[in-house]
Structure 1
Amino acid sequence: MELRQLEYLLAVVEERSFTRAAERLHVAQPGVSSQIRRMERELGQQLLDRSGPEVRPTQAGTTFLPYARAALDAVSGGRLALDELAGLVRGSLSVGIVTSCSSVPVTDLLADFHRSYPEVEIRLVEAPSDQLAAGLRAGDLDVALIGVATKAPEGLHHRLVVDEPAVAGMAPEDSLAGRGAVSLAELCERPLLCLPRGTGLRTMLEEACESAGIPLRVTMEAGDPQRLVELAERGLGVAVLPAPSVRRHGSRIRGVEISAPGLRARIALAWSAERAMSPAGQAFIDLAGAVLAPS
């Protein structure tokens, strides 16, 4: 049995198609089919059900898949260990950033990493925090900057890099603009402008409202904090934003503290707690730890 046969099998199962698996692997489709049939003959079991419109694992295939993944992970881990021993940092790095990540100098961080490790190919993905966390757990991402709420991300290691108060941002002429603070109940009486579901601050707001038994009514949402500032400035609602996003716009918008409870905008650098980290990923974590500090 060869490692490529295991790779072919996993690709077919994940893509549910020999053709799509071959395209993903950049090999000819007949080669994928013949290698898997060869492995099935060697094992004496049919691993794939080819009778339907989509290819699916048989009972034997389902039983065998965890061992195939473990074998490939073990080989990958061995290669990583040897690379680390040799002091090599190469290969690829998949980095995720939360859609509303305006408080972290991501571009500068990636540029610094590229200058230090020019042979590493960097892939950047922007998405809500819950999708990024799922990508880290699945192994699709190496590291990600995600928003975190009150609970630590399940199955992930994380290092907090931003911890800022959230404020209610509103037009200067709003009746609440002169207040020192606004309660959560008062805030939720207004049309709210928020970051999308799955972002850390939105999750924290939802959890606070649920805990207090206060209905949350979001009338508009946007992934770009700048867009929320513009909407609030024009009197379309009250925006829930990190304090720096409001402060940097000066007199255009007023920021009022949200009390009882105080909300925080937190961003963390996260990576899987279950998978071995590549040398490139570890180098990025080390660089980020040196450059970024909680604000």
Structure 2
Amino acid sequence: MKVLLSAVQEKSFTKASVKQHMSQPAVTIIIGEIEELAGCKLFVRAGNTRTTTLTNEGENFAGVFSKIVAQYETAIQQLEVSVSGKKAWVDVLIQKSFAIAIRGDWLRSLQKTFDGSHVRFHTATRDEILEKINSQDACLGLIDGDTSNLKADSRTILTDQVCALVRHTDFAGKHSINWSDLPSKGIVHTGISRSAQLQIRQALKGVEIESEGYVEVDSDVLITKLLADDLAVALTPSLIGSVLEQEEGLRCIELRGPRVDVPMRIVMPWGRMHSTRFETLSPAAVFVGRHDD
């Protein structure tokens, strides 16, 4: 299984042979044997030559193999820790934009779910977390957006919604507004998934607001831009907006009309989520302002 996965990852049978410390003919023979056992071609042929491009059947087999290998390696690591008596390290990576909204007591509860492991907390960009998860390192990510393309298991903990963060003097007395009520200039928060950003721009386009008038700004300078520049609104998940509105002169307003959902998920490399006890955690208690019913 590792031979096949190496050929896919390296896009070269020669590089796969080096990675697996065997000859290229041996790699070719092993892949041929796997195809024979599977009863189908796993790699696309160019004439009589096997390429490193997977067939549809190959894609399915590679996905299954990846999970099996990940579970095997996790079991080996846990065995080594058990034998040596040393605690393993697990990195918890929190998407930087949402870090301000995470409850400290929830992080302490999360730490307890990793039996026999040391836990280190970090903030990182979404792309950095995706890279870490795909590398199959011992880690957990808390991110927004779609995770279907990751080599990972995921669990949705809640679904947030994009809101309008405005200056206190704007939209006085209103707790919600229509998308069509938004000004022609504003901010789109870039600290969220690209799919959510695209949905925001589609919603603006749907009410005939030129999305070009909405600049992309990350968390570090969002408040400064909103208060100092001629930008009257920032479109951001309400989890973030509800924390930022505590800044003097800002408040969070619900947007009526097209709903832009921002799913928040816990993700771990394949085979690792089963070794934790997430059922003991309350999803509603993850973020500031969210509590159990």
Letter in 1 for 2:186: L
Q: Which residue of 2 aligns with 1:227?
A: 221
Q: Which residue of 2 aligns with 1:12?
A: 7
Alignment of 1:1-295 (within 5 A): 6-18=1-13, 21=16, 25=19, 28=21, 31=22, 33-39=24-30, 56-57=51-52, 66-67=60-61, 70-71=64-65, 73-74=67-68, 77=71, 97-101=94-98, 102-105=100-103, 109=107, 113=111, 117-118=116-117, 126-127=125-126, 132=130, 143-147=140-144, 157-160=155-158, 163=160, 166-170=163-167, 176=170, 178-181=172-175, 182-187=177-182, 189-196=183-190, 198=193, 202=197, 205-206=200-201, 208-209=203-204, 212-217=206-211, 218-224=213-219, 226-237=220-231, 238-241=233-236, 242-250=240-248, 253-255=249-251, 257-261=253-257, 268-271=264-267, 276-280=271-275, 282-283=276-277, 286=280, 289=283, 292=286, 294-295=290-291
Letter in 2 for 1:126: T
C-alpha separation in 1, matches of 2:260 and 2:33: 57
Aligned residues of 1:99 and 1:128 also touching (Cα < 8 A):
no
Amino-acid identity (%)? 13
Aligned residues of 2:187 and 2:214 also touching (Cα < 8 A):
yes
Distance 1:66 1:180, change over 3 A: closer
C-alpha separation in 1, matches of 2:58 and 2:73: 23
Letter in 1 for 2:225: L
Q: Structure 1, residues 63-103: CA drift from partner, whole Å, max 9, x if none? A: 5664465356446557878999xxx7976757554342131
C-alpha separation in 2, matches of 1:221 and 1:213: 19
Letter in 2 for 1:10: L
Distance 1:292 1:75, change over 3 A: same
Letter in 2 for 1:247: E
Q: Which residue of 2 aligns with 1:3?
A: none
TM-superposed deviation, 1:214: 3.5
Gaps of 5+ in 2: none
Letter in 1 for 2:242: P
Gaps of 5+ in 1: 1-5
C-alpha separation in 2, matches of 1:107 and 1:11: 41
Aligned residues of 2:94 and 2:143 also touching (Cα < 8 A):
yes
Q: Structure 1, residues 188-246: CA drift from partner, whole Å, max 9, x if none? A: x3311121262686466346446x5343525321231x411110110231222443233
TM-score w.r.t. the length of structure 1 is: 0.59
C-alpha separation in 2, matches of 1:64 and 1:260: 45
TM-score w.r.t. the length of structure 2 is: 0.60
Letter in 1 for 2:97: S
C-alpha separation in 1, matches of 2:255 and 2:42: 59
Q: Structure 1, residues 119-173: CA drift from partner, whole Å, max 9, x if none? A: 57889753169x95x997x79587532336xxx977953112x857833323x6x
